[in-house]
Structure 1
């Protein structure tokens, strides 16, 4: 029997899931249609598409976990169910963070200007650098899976996972700490991208002022847009990491508690909120979204007029 708080948490989870799915499905659909039409896709659009796909999978996993917490009693959380959900969550969350970090690196190498030979070497090989960053992040995913498998082997003969966890919280806490360290790599890369983009912007504006030129040129605006995009990702990513860790600790210490259910609601913010920011920050996606809204508004007006004349 669902309590009132449980029902509210479930309704909010479904609402956030629908909002996130709409945003990410829109990004993926627009880029895929253009890919099919032009028989070609840019690196930025490819990252956008992969990011949207990974977030759709992540939202499905989070919703599944929310439904299990709300509708399934704690004593029915078996080892196999907990293992499957945990593994899917780690994979989708890691892919989400990796693609978002690759997008930050892309903005840095595409827009920033530095005369250092190392930066120029990376800029000339931008596609390979982004691919290398993603492949390197997959090593952390492999580490996650190996660590999870070694930890899950301890519970392979457990029929009641929740009951056994109550007796093994120390081991689980140590494992959670190790798994949390894998978030540092994308966080460090994103922070470095923000700092370098900011330094490039400051340097660019200073050069324009020395040459008595207007600081509102296309390059400056591109810098500012990129910084806003990366800063938004970095802020939401930090919030996402914090909320995820809090939810993990609450689940370990208190189990299927109401506070954990409401904490999970904040997990939707990163894959949903950042996708809307990407739509607003990308000219093609923003214009397409405005066209869709205009057609929707026109359709509703025509429908309203038809009802009035009936």
Structure 2
């Protein structure tokens, strides 16, 4: 349960923390928006030109676009939460922010999971008939599975509307020895329901993500043993593809675990709104989509080339403006 007093106590310290939180999370949001927006623009333009996209590019487009929405929504929530607490803590508004951020987090995790599954099926090299059958069927069904995951995200978010998050604002109370009044905002979370639905929503995609990553690691191990037996060069393309995919999935997994813990703590309302721990949770949540978007650009040779071209054009444009 979190309690917030909207009186004039410690105004200077509160204003400083609000400004610090908005500046740092704003920088993270802008960084992530540039990264996600760039990926969305590149694959969106490719989709417009070709009228269709390969399934891997389509998942990347959906992932980057959902990241854009998540970053905008988190920044909007921070602004309302910190600057307009009386509006933010109305039950309807409060519930809208909480449920929407859960839906976007679920959708992000699902899209990242399908991207990892796609990499695994395209890169991993197993001779077992079951793997070949799974590879053929999943790749054929992947467009439908991606659509289905959006429906799953909605289904896991909707139960959070039912008596999980509650907020109360009491009437104005006079402050003794002062001409001011205060309003006390009490935010309560049903922890048993939140824990159940939160874990239920992330369990299936997270298990799938870890399984796909494990298959990639096992495939890399087999490939290394094969290379040692045949004295193959260490710069083998399959080896580089394995290592690149494993680095990408490991980076995402680390970011997501930190984000999942921070998001759960933030939703549970165990910290005061202006406490350092609550502010840290906001920073971690904003760093997750920004960090993974940048990693997707740096880890993809095609995206790196497109970024260098974009950066070069921006520099030329700025140089011409200054002349």
Question: Same fold per TM (> 0.5)?
Answer: yes
User: Aligned to 1:216, what secondary structure does the other structure show?
Assistant: coil
Give me the whole-angstrom Cα distance separating, in 1, the residues matched to 2:133 and 2:184.
55
Give the corresponding residue for 1:113: 125
Q: CA deviation at 1:223?
A: 0.8
Give the corresponding residue for 1:160: 169
Give the corresponding residue for 1:257: 274
CA contact (8 A) 1:17 1:268 kept: yes
Q: CA deviation at 1:83?
A: 1.2
CA contact (8 A) 1:47 1:99 kept: yes
What are the within-5 Å matches in structure 2 for residues 1-310 of structure 1? 3-73=15-85, 77-131=89-143, 133-134=145-146, 137-138=149-150, 140-151=152-163, 160=169, 169=189, 172-181=190-199, 182-249=201-268, 252-259=269-276, 260-302=278-320, 306=323
Give me the whole-angstrom Cα distance separating, in 2, the residues matched to 1:230 and 1:285.
17
TM-score under structure 1 normalisation?
Answer: 0.87
Q: If each structure's helix is expressed as a fraction of its own residues, which one has the higher value? A: 1
Give me the whole-angstrom Cα distance separating, in 1, the residues matched to 2:55 and 2:264.
32
Give me the whole-angstrom Cα distance separating, in 2, the residues matched to 1:212 and 1:277.
32
Q: If each structure's strand is expressed as a fraction of its own residues, which one has the higher value? A: 2
Give me the whole-angstrom Cα distance separating, in 1, the residues matched to 2:151 and 2:272.
31
Give ranges in structure 2 of 5+ residues lacking alignment.
Answer: 1-10, 171-182
Give me the whole-angstrom Cα distance separating, in 1, the residues matched to 2:245 and 2:284.
25
> What does the per-residue CA deviation read over 1:113-152, in whole Å, with 9 as the maximum and x for residues that have no partner?
1122221111122434534654564564344234213226
Q: 1:163 to 1:302 in 2, by over 3 A?
A: closer
Give me the whole-angstrom Cα distance separating, in 2, the residues matched to 1:40 and 1:4.
49
Give me the whole-angstrom Cα distance separating, in 2, the residues matched to 1:136 and 1:33.
25
> What does the per-residue CA deviation read over 1:34-80, in whole Å, with 9 as the maximum and x for residues that have no partner?
12223331111101100011111111111111001210135861111
RMSD: 2.5
Give me the whole-angstrom Cα distance separating, in 1, the residues matched to 2:121 and 2:88.
50
Q: CA deviation at 1:303?
A: 5.0
Give ranges in structure 1 of 5+ residues lacking alignment.
Answer: none
Q: CA deviation at 1:297?
A: 2.9
User: Aligned to 2:197, what secondary structure does the other structure show?
Assistant: helix
TM-score under structure 2 normalisation?
Answer: 0.83
Give me the whole-angstrom Cα distance separating, in 2, the residues matched to 1:165 and 1:101.
37
